[in-house]
Amino acid sequence: MAGGVKLCGMKRRSDVREALQLGADWIGTVIGYPRSPRSISIQEAAELAVESDRLVAVVVDPDDSLAAEVIDVVRPAAVQLSGYEEPDRVARLIARFPDTGWWKVLHIPATEGEDAADAERQLRDYIAAGAGRVVIDAGTRAMPGGTGSSASWRLAAMLVGLASVPITLSGGLTPENVGSAIAHVKPAGVDVSSGIEAAPGVKDALAMERFVSEARRAFEAVPRSQSMPLT
């Protein structure tokens, strides 16, 4: 498989079933973050997990009790830390819950600028902390993801070239631009939320179908030496 496709921000079982039928590799759902219109409860997430063993639980700066409850009740394939968790915090969570897959979001700006060195440092620190996958996304502390804003593809491509773990590209992706994003950045996977919605948390079946199809086509065109396998 040339690359992984994650459809995120799921709230409805019908959308999860549709995404799986279309061939999504991962299903993402936001848990316990009231600022997001896509956030659901732990129990609601557990109900979605019944539909798929590839569910990624997206949490923002969770304390140990929330992380433990998500892992115990939802039993996700991975937990995605989408806030501004420091590397030592990431390392502590991984050490406490070693049997869970851990992904870490790295927030980068829309333009490369002087933030490139800082982004590179953060990437290396998160990998050293034990993150099994890094998700590159645009975001702010007020809303760390799901904003529809794009991260710098040029900076993202540089980080992909440096990483020793799979990199997933997120932020502002749509069926119309995902092919170009994959061609430019060459990530191991792509992640979409607002770009496939009829309303926040309500997915559009046609948009999902087009996104998966365009992503698959683009991944197949990336030379294997430049595309890491799905893990």
CATH number of the domain where residue 89 is located: 3.20.20.70
Report the domain count for the chain.
1
Domain that holds residue 145: 4-222
Residue 169 is assigned to a structural domain of this protein: yes
Is position 228 within any domain? no
**Does 230 fall in a domain?**
no
Residue-level pLDDT at 204: 97
Question: 220 with 193: CB under 8 angstroms?
Answer: no
Question: Which regions in the chain score pLDDT beneath 50?
Answer: 1-2, 140-143, 225-231
Q: Count Cα atoms within 13 angstroms, Cβ side, for 176.
A: 2
Q: Which residues fall within 8 angstroms of residue 150, CB to CB, at 6 or more apart?
A: 110, 138, 171, 172, 173
Residues involved in catalysis: 8, 137
Question: Which helix (DSSP H) or strand (DSSP E) does residue 93 occupy?
Answer: helix 87-96
Residue 190 inside a domain? The answer is: yes
The predicted pLDDT at position 149 comes to 66
Distances (CA, A) of 115 to 100, 152, 166, 187, 215: 31, 11, 21, 20, 28
Is residue 95 domain-resident?
A: yes
> Considering the domain boundaries, does residue 181 fall inside one?
yes
Tell me, what's the pLDDT at 150?
81
> Is 179 among the domain residues?
yes
Q: Is residue 23 in a domain?
A: yes
Q: 74-96: per-residue pLDDT in tens?
A: 999 999 999 999 999 999 999 99
CB neighbour class for 219 (10 Å; exposed up to 12, middle 13-18, buried from 19) = buried
